[in-house]
Structure 1
Amino acid sequence: MSHDSMKSFRDTIEAVVVALLLALVIRAFVVQAFKIPSGSMLDTLQIGDHLLVTKFAYDVRLPSNLLLETTGGKVLFRVGDPERGDIVVFKFPEDESKDYIKRIIGLPGDIIEIKDKVVFINGNPLDEPYVLHTKPGIMPVRDNFGPYKVPEGNYFMMGDNREGSYDSRFWGPVKREKIVGKALIIYWSWGSISDIRFDRIGTIFN
């Protein structure tokens, strides 16, 4: 192999290594892709939506998949606090190998109560224009809930599709440190291989 060919090969390898390292850093600290597998967040999120989740909306952490278990996940510094209405990805409390996506409804210290499908926060009805009720005339047990006080450092999560969501009404609140990140943008969406939903691509979440 000539000197020029060897140099070109070495440059290519270096470029690939740098690209891989950048990808690892971006995934660890900046954004992570997430696919919507269920209808628990209908109509806000559709099955087949692909999201980017920003990982520094609230906390900047040491990545647990790159460092020792004793230091992985440690908060380097706080950026902001989760807010009511934020759509977030978090570690499922019943199985932390799974990521769930829901909307934050209750903040630390809030009193949550649900009466005939209406959510009350500290005694006041919550305005929820995003909510989908697929069975408005049926009252499952969890459509009447509480009162329940959200513990400090925890958040009460609910799906927008209230009759089709397995959420904090069933398994309790989510600790702040278990929140992976905040939904940022839909970068791809399809119902099937031949059904690309172009109208959803580029949807940004505030």
Structure 2
Amino acid sequence: MNSIKRFLKENGLFLLLIVGMVLLRLFVFTPFEVDGPSMNYTLAHGDRLFGANMFNVDRFDIVILDSPTEEGKQYIKRVIGLPGDTISSEDDVIYINDEPLSETYLSEETRQNNTNTVDFAPLTIPEGEYFVMGDNRNHSFDSTEFGPIPEESINAEILFRFWPLNTFGTVDETD
């Protein structure tokens, strides 16, 4: 019994730290690696991120969500439309409740390309659902194709990029 007490006394802080990290990983933070170009130029293929599991969904949040079409696959997208919003797109401009959406987070190259967003008729987003899009509209499988997604499909909000090191830091929703 003395050896257990001695072990706990010598290593208790380390064990507590390990248990705390495991609990944070399980219940608070989700690691994620960007796979593909759908969020260029905000996020790049291979970026490694941490997301928070406990959050409120707001417009422009970058979120990790379950694929609506492929079991076990996750996507990273930006929340564009909220429950109750009427969303549409015409001539490369997204409208939310008949007001043009200012998308300052899109790169200058993306904004000048003028072929980014497919036109779609007005759609009212049902309660408990969200309309998500990739920032690289020409290369994004998103709500323009699969429709709004249920809130339960959203797993985390991206907060922090830890790789590559030259982009280390928080991921701002307006980046």
TM-score category (smaller protein)? 0.7 to 0.9
The root-mean-square deviation of aligned C-alpha atoms, in Å, is 2.7
Matched, 1:46 2:38: no
Q: Greater shift after overlay, 165-174 or 125-134?
A: 125-134
> Equivalent pairs: percent with the same residue?
35
Partner of 1:99: 74
Q: Which has the higher contact order (CA 8 A, sep 6+)?
A: 2
Partner of 2:94: 119
1:76-123 CA-to-partner distances (Å, cap 9, x unmatched) read: xxxxxx111111111111124111110000000111110011100011
Answer 1 or 2: which has greater helix percent.
2
Give the Cα separation in 2 of the matches to 1:39 and 1:57.
25
TM-aligned CA deviation for residue 15 of structure 1 = 7.0
Partner of 2:35: 37
1:20-47 CA-to-partner distances (Å, cap 9, x unmatched) read: 5433311221111111111111111112
Q: SS at 2:38's partner residue?
A: coil
Q: SS at 1:129's partner residue?
A: coil
TM-score, scaled to structure 1: 0.72
1:173-194 CA-to-partner distances (Å, cap 9, x unmatched) read: 11111211111111121xxxxx
1:144-188 CA-to-partner distances (Å, cap 9, x unmatched) read: 112111111000000111111110000111111121111111112
Q: How does 1:191-202 map to 2 (within 5 A)?
A: 197-198=165-166, 200-202=167-169
Q: How does 1:133-148 map to 2 (within 5 A)?
A: 133=110, 136=113, 138=115, 143-148=118-123
Q: Does the aligned pair in 2 maintain the 1:134–1:161 contact within 8 Å?
A: no
TM-score, scaled to structure 2: 0.83
Q: SS at 1:143's partner residue?
A: coil
Structure 1: 5+ residue stretches without partners: 59-81, 190-196
Matched residues, number: 170
Choose from 172, 177, 180 the match for 2:155. 180
Q: Greater shift after overlay, 14-23 or 175-184?
A: 14-23
